[in-house]
Structure 1
């Protein structure tokens, strides 16, 4: 299921409006999209008209059961800690507030961004290594 087809500022403003009841959400530009923070916790990603929420071992199965995919900014990198929010959740402020609250609760704070990157297969050979 695809979320709103629009991207850019319109989609960002829509999501931030839907999260208006959440505690002080800060939106920061990053890697061609936007990262969403609340109380110093990186809990969401806006990228190409899609909204991804931070997951953990408890919340992730709910996303997977609904057919949602992890954040994959390109074919080489998958961030398995962030899954796309279902469109019906995004459209319902009350439901989105619950899902966002859970994402905030499992999001790391401080230096560790908790992105859990999975790089593409490592290249063969070494460059100037021992």
Structure 2
């Protein structure tokens, strides 16, 4: 299912307190950038935030599922976990999750 323009606009507005948010359509979904740092994806009207070894446990503690897809008969799991449903209620509730994802994106940058 493709993402809806309304949902994507809602998510970008929700994340706006972090910085300049832009989206780029890709693979039937969208990548989200904050000040040019790729930190989230939207697939099937679901927000997934960047995770790594430092912040993954925060997401796993809340039983937030990892983003997975099938390619060539194999399941591929990327370093993104679903955002908590309650965090979608306001920018204040989303802020710590989004900041954690942005920090993971910054750590992933190559020097």
TM-score normalised to structure 1 length:
0.72
Structure with max Cα Rg: 1
1:95 is the counterpart of 2:93: yes
User: Over aligned residues, Cα RMSD in angstroms?
Assistant: 1.8
Give the gaps of 5 or more residues in structure 2.
none
Corresponding residue for residue 77 of structure 1: 76
Equivalent residues, number: 104
Alignment of 1:1-130 (within 5 A): 7-74=3-70, 76-79=75-78, 81-107=79-105, 108-109=108-109
Moved over 2 A (4+): 73-76
Three-state SS of the structure 1 residue aligned to 2:22 is strand
Give the gaps of 5 or more residues in structure 1.
1-6, 111-130
TM-score normalised to structure 2 length:
0.83
- Contact 2:8 2:42 (8 Å CA) reproduced: yes
Q: How far apart in 1 are the matches of 2:30 and 2:69?
A: 12
Q: How far apart in 1 are the matches of 2:5 and 2:35?
A: 23
| CA shift for structure 1 position 62 | 1.5
**Would you tell me which structure has more strand in proportion to its own residues?**
2
